[in-house]
């Protein structure tokens, strides 16, 4: 979050896995059919006396990247520590940047002080770039909320409200920050068609992973571990076909927070419903290789749903989302402004599905969903300035999750009702259409707001009303925000232990001294 400022399911799990495999195999097939790729080796070791003509040696990663100018060229990085910023530009489209060992290839920004802030690896408006099997650490923002501070960033068109690139792939990646001004660990914005697999991030004052500004993302996040960040996952105005699965979001200030944001990372809103002609008709999604019109440009009109029986393409499933309860972590001003202590937070979200997760030990709520006026600058009467977009909380589905030990904060007796496993607010501001949310088949020992939410708001109902809550609920959210903003002085997060490295870093690489 940059500020706080299935009916039927359209992407079956098997289809998602197949789609990602097809992307990978397609790239591999292209490698086999094209001329032999060049291999650029970056490292500190002396090259051997002889090696193939398609192999080239460099002492910096940046020089090796600059020389990789054909799709499917490989940049292989020898174990060692590299103190440099790496820029990948359109001339490098389609390349693979791969470390030979995830834990011993370290790109370290600790001693890099670039005016405006430093970034580790930045892919600038470049299609189909793979980054694999390495660690990037300690690239800092110039100030708490300044520029830079991104360890690994696929940047499709920063500052522009459009998707500027496609094809981003990250596997076996670690990002961490042991100081206080690391912004984002693993970051994609203004791009579509991609995946992250086996990734780790900790210590970031905004979010461990961030995927924003793609209304039709066509993306999969799989086997991620996000811990000790202000936000584990954040995604402004990203949705459509987007799966977050088989991952862990533990010990953050808040766990998972897709959100609508205005005006940053536009266009709004966040919308996880499938784009389809009629409710109940499955959409042909681009993950299957077909075309799609997507949700379209921002028109100023927010989505409205006529039924709970909609197809969901933004799906948060089969994750562990536990003990997101740490107020002693670094946080920049926008991340700190988020209500804290929720496992899954849905600020102004539309059409998202939270399915079959373990959600335990989160102090404010397991799932916390609410209307989101943005920019958020109300006066004392909770009225908002001209230009504020008041996103609703509508069409979301919470099903089949196991909740336990959520909602244990100490609050006033009148606010106690808002704590629990699932807590929804809506119908207070804006169009007052926070409707057709539904909650069914969950294990919920710690209750909900509204009470007995699986009754009147169960997915067996064709429609559901606003969850309500009124200004009293809004003041509860403001209390959570205030506690987050005025958190104790942050503690530094230590470097993480070694993570699982890529089992076959030489796979599909032409023979070379690193890959005999």
Dihedral angle sign, alpha carbons of residues 370, 374, 375, 377: negative
* Nearest by Cα to 248 from 403, 360, 364, 172: 360
β-partners of residue 221 are 196, 244
| Band (295; pLDDT cuts 50, 70, 90) | low
Q: Please write the tens of the pLDDT for every residue from 101-119.
A: 999 999 999 999 888 889 9
For residues 82-99, give the mean pLDDT.
98
Residue, of 26 and 292, whose pLDDT is higher: 26
Strand pairing category for 372-374 and 389-391: antiparallel
**Residues in CB range of 32: below 8 A, 6 or more apart:** none
Lowest mean pLDDT among 5-19, 265-279, 306-320, 333-347: 5-19
CB-CB contact of 430 with 392 (8 Å): yes
Average pLDDT over residues 16-20: 41
What is the DSSP track for 216-241?
T--EEEEEEEEESSSEEEEEETB-SS
**pTM exceeds 0.75, yes or no:** yes
Instruction: Check the CA dihedral 366-347-439-19 and report its sign.
Output: negative
Is the pLDDT assigned to residue 197 strictly greater than 70?
yes
Write the pLDDT tens digit of every residue in 396-417: 999 999 999 999 999 999 999 9
Peptide bond into 263 cis (omega under 30): yes
pLDDT for 34 = 54
Q: What is the mean pLDDT of residues 171-188?
A: 97
Q: Is the pLDDT at 129 greater than 60, yes or no?
A: yes
Q: How confident is the model at residue 287 (pLDDT cuts 50, 70, 90)?
A: very low
Place 297 in a pLDDT band, splitting at 50, 70 and 90: low
Positive or negative: CA dihedral 505, 508, 511, 516:
positive
Instruction: Work out the pLDDT band at 292, boundaries 50, 70, 90.
Output: very low
pLDDT average, residue stretch 482-511? 97
Which has the closest alpha carbon to 231: 245, 217, 214, 211? 211
Closest CA to 65 of 137, 129, 153, 138: 129
Q: Which two tokens stand for residue 110?
A: 């600790």
Look at 272-276, 380-384, 391-395 and tell me which has the smallest mean pLDDT: 380-384
Q: Is the pLDDT of residue 5 over 60?
A: no
| pLDDT tens column, 216-268 | 999 999 999 999 999 999 999 999 999 999 999 999 999 999 999 988 898 99
In angstroms and rounded to an integer, the radius of gyration of the C-alpha atoms of the chain is: 23
Percent of the chain predicted with pLDDT > 90: 81
Output the pLDDT for position 258.
98
Residue 18: the pLDDT is 34
Q: Spell 154-185 as b/e; 16+ CB within 10 A means b.
A: bbbbbeebebbbebbbbbbbbbbbebbbbbbb
pLDDT digits over 135-157, tens only? Answer: 999 999 988 888 999 999 999 99
Burial class from Cβ neighbours inside 10 Å (0-12, 13-18, 19+) for residue 475 reads middle
Question: Residue 275 has what pLDDT?
Answer: 81
For residue 215, pLDDT over 60 is answered with yes
Helical (H) or strand (E) element with 165 = strand 165-176
Taking residues 172-198, what's their average pLDDT?
97
User: What is the mean pLDDT of the segment spanning 82-101?
Assistant: 98
Predicted confidence band at 296 (pLDDT cuts at 50, 70, 90)?
low
pLDDT of residue 36: 82
The whole-number average pLDDT for the span 352-367 is: 98
Torsion 323-326-331-333 (CA) sign: positive
Q: Pick the more confident residue, 7 or 362.
A: 362
Question: Rounded mean pLDDT of 168-184?
Answer: 97
Task: Give the tens place of pLDDT for each residue, 30-70.
Answer: 444 457 899 999 999 999 999 999 999 999 999 999 999 99
Mean pLDDT (the chain) is 90
Can you give the pLDDT at residue 323? 98
Q: Which residues lie closer than 8 Å to 488 by C-beta, 6 or more apart? A: 327, 328
Residue 32, pLDDT score: 41
């Amino acid at each position: 979050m940059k500020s706080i400022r299935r009916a039927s399911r359209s992407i079956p799990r098997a289809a998602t896995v197949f789609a990602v495999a097809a992307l990978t195999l397609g790239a591999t097939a292209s490698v086999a059919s094209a001329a032999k790729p060049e291999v650029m080796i970056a490292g500190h070791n002396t090259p051997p006396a002889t090696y193939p003509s398609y192999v080239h040696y460099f002492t910096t990663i940046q020089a090796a990247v600059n020389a990789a100018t054909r799709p499917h060229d490989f940049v292989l990085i020898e174990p060692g520590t590299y103190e440099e910023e790496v820029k990948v530009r359109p001339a490098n489209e389609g390349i693979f940047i791969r470390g030979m060992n995830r834990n011993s290839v370290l790109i370290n920004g600790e001693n890099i002080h670039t005016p405006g802030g430093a970034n580790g690896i930045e892919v600038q408006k470049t299609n189909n770039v793979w980054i694999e099997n390495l660690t990037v650490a300690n690239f800092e923002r110039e100030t708490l909320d300044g520029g830079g501070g991104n360890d690994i960033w696929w940047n499709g068109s920063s500052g522009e409200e459009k998707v500027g690139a496609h094809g981003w792939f990250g596997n076996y990646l670690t990002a961490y920050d042991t100081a206080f001004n690391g912004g984002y660990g693993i970051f994609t914005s203004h791009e579509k068609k991609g995946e992250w697999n086996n990734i780790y991030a900790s210590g970031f004052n905004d979010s461990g992973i961030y995927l924003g500004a793609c209304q039709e993302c066509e993306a999969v996040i799989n086997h991620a571990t996000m811990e000790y960040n202000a936000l584990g996952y954040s995604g402004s105005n990203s949705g459509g076909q987007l799966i977050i699965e088989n991952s862990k979001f533990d010990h953050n200030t808040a766990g998972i927070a897709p959100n609508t944001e205005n005006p940053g990372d536009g266009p709004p809103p966040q919308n996880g419903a499938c784009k389809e002609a009629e409710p109940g008709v499955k959409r042909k999604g681009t993950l299957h290789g077909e075309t799609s019109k997507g949700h379209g440009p921002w028109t100023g009109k927010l989505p409205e749903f006529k039924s709970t029986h909609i197809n969901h393409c933004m799906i948060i499933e089969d994750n562990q989302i536990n003990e997101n309860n740490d107020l002693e972590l670094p946080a920049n001003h926008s991340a700190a402004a988020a209500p804290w202590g929720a496992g899954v937070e849905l600020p102004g979200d539309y059409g998202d599905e939270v399915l079959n997760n373990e959600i335990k030990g989160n102090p404010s709520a397991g799932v916390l969903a609410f209307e989101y006026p943005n920019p958020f600058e109300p006066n004392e009467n909770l009225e908002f300035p001209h230009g504020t977009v008041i996103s609703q909380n509508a069409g979301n589905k919470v099903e089949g999750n196991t909740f336990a030990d959520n909602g244990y904060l100490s609050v006033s007796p009148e606010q106690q009702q808002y704590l629990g496993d699932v807590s929804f607010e809506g119908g207070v501001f804006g169009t007052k259409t926070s409707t057709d949310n539904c909650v069914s088949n969950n294990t919920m020992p710690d209750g909900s707001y509204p009470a007995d939410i699986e009754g009147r708001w169960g997915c067996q109902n064709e429609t559901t009303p606003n969850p309500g809550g009124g200004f009293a609920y809004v003041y509860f959210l403001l209390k959570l925000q205030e506690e987050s903003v005025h958190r104790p002085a942050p503690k530094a997060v230590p470097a993480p232990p070694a993570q699982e490295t890529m089992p076959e870093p030489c796979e599909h690489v032409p023979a070379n001294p690193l890959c005999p």
